């Protein structure tokens, strides 16, 4: 009897090990498929023009930094990088406090009813091209064309509704009794929100901020319409990076690496907040 039990246990362990190995192999293949385009871009950024266009590709070569030097010396990429960073950070910094207060008002007091809440959601669903002409006319009237301020304000049109709806989900998971207890102890409504609700909602705020930053960082249409060369952002710079001989793959790949870098660093730096925030909003 004991012998049969031992054999069954050994067989189950073998099946478990085989199942785990198969799972890791499948996940590794999917991860490789996702990472391969990024790794290929990184590879191209360290190649010469000859190797970049070579077919079949040359796998072993001496890495060079000429593409990165050309990116900043010949194309002035530092200006575009700064513009994108300033616009994304500025729009996100404005959107987060406004969205937090709006989401709190909707969640706790049902301000404006469902019609206003779904109206804000409807703004998020609008295609950006629908808003492009009114925003262009508005910025021209205010004499804000070709400025970073125009982009920061225009990005709020799609950024703010998105962050409001995200934060509404996070705030639903925070019991209102915590605020009531703080007010019983002598705190005002505003003090209860700042000292009790906001710290508990920090993971959700961080997750919303990251996604808001990514939306602004990748935006193309408004940046194309409202900016000129001195205020262009990275997506516009990438689209314009071509010469009379075609696209310079090495330099373009180096620019793409710099375009990915801030989001990669940001995601790693606050990864725990990202995971907690995205899961916290789903728990009710």
* 161-194 pLDDT, tens digit each: 989 988 988 888 888 888 888 888 888 888 888 8
Residue 207 pLDDT class (50, 70, 90 cuts): confident
Give the least confident one: 2-16, 73-87, 200-214.
Answer: 2-16
Could you tell me how far CA 172 lies from the centroid of its own chain? 23
Q: Where are the alpha helices (DSSP H) in the chain?
A: 2-45, 49-52, 66-73, 77-109, 113-125, 128-141, 148-171, 176-184, 189-192, 198-200, 202-218, 221-226, 234-239, 249-269, 271-280
Q: Which of 9-18, 82-91, 123-132, 152-161 has the lowest mean pLDDT?
A: 9-18
Lowest-confidence range among 2-6, 86-90, 102-106, 194-198? 2-6
Q: C-alpha dihedral over 129, 135, 139, 144, to 10 degrees?
A: -60
Is 127 exposed, middle or buried (CB count within 10 Å of its CB: 0-12, 13-18, 19+)?
exposed
Cβ burial, residue 160 (10 Å; 0-12/13-18/19+):
buried
8 A C-beta contact, residue 148 and residue 83: yes
Question: pLDDT at position 48, please?
Answer: 82
Q: Pick one of 1.20.120.1200, 1.10.3720.10, 3.20.20.140, 1.10.287.610 as the CATH number of 67-280.
A: 1.10.3720.10
Above 70 in pLDDT, residue 73?
A: yes
Contact (CB, 8 A) for 189 and 179? yes
Q: Percentage of residues in the chain with pLDDT exceeding 70?
A: 89
pLDDT of residue 85: 93
What interhelical angle do 77-109 and 249-269 show, nearest 10? Answer: 40
């Amino acid at each position: 009897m004991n012998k049969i039990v031992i054999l069954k246990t050994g067989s189950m362990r073998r099946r478990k090990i085989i199942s785990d190995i198969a799972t890791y192999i499948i996940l590794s293949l999917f991860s490789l498929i996702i990472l391969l385009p990024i790794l290929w871009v990184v590879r191209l950024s360290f190649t010469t023009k000859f190797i970049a266009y070579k077919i079949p590709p040359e796998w072993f070569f001496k890495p060079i930094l000429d593409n990165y030097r050309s990116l900043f010396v010949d194309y002035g990429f530092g200006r575009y990088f700064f513009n994108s960073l300033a616009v994304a950070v500025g729009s996100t910094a404005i959107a987060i406090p406004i969205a937090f207060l709006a989401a709190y008002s909707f969640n706790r007091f049902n301000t404006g009813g469902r019609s206003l809440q779904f109206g804000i959601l409807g703004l998020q669903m609008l295609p950006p091209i629908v808003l492009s002409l009114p925003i262009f006319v508005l910025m021209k009237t205010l004499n804000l064309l070709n400025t970073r301020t125009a982009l920061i304000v225009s990005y709020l049109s799609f950024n703010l509704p998105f962050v409001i709806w995200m934060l509404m989900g996070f705030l639903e998971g925070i019991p209102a009794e915590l605020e009531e207890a703080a007010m019983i102890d002598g705190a005002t409504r505003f003090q209860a929100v700042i000292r009790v609700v906001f710290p508990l909602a920090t993971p959700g705020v961080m997750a919303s901020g990251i996604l808001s930053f990514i939306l602004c960082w990748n935006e193309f249409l408004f940046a194309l319409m409202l900016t000129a060369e001195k205020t262009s952002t990275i997506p516009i710079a990438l689209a314009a990076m071509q010469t009379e001989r075609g696209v310079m793959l090495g330099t373009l790949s180096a620019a793409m690496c710099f375009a990915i870098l801030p989001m990669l660093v940001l995601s790693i730096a606050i990864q725990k907040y990202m995971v907690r925030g995205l899961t916290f909003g789903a728990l009710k």
